[in-house]
Amino acid sequence: MVAGLLATAPSQAQTFDPRYPVCMHVYSGANGGGGEWYDCSFTSLPQCRATASGRSAICDPNPYYPAYAPPQRYRLRRSG
């Protein structure tokens, strides 16, 4: 019966937004449930740490942020 309930319960996938380099890992409701989640909407560690200050949260680099983007190559057009 428990397996049946777990199979029908909706599941939510955690996503990391690859557009931002820093994520805040928020812990909530240790004794009362609540769970934890990631907020990947920060452009720097200091920005994230300022938001996390006073909360049960830590800031980490986003594991899905592309650390290296290949340089763009531009073609020169010659007229004539």
Model confidence band, residue 38 (pLDDT cutoffs 50, 70, 90):
very high
Model confidence band, residue 28 (pLDDT cutoffs 50, 70, 90):
confident
Return the pLDDT at 67: 72
Average confidence (pLDDT) over 16-20:
90
Spatial distance between the Cα atoms of 47 and 4, rounded to a whole number of angstroms: 43
Model confidence band, residue 35 (pLDDT cutoffs 50, 70, 90):
confident
Q: Which has more confidence, 62 or 35?
A: 62
Return the pLDDT at 9: 47
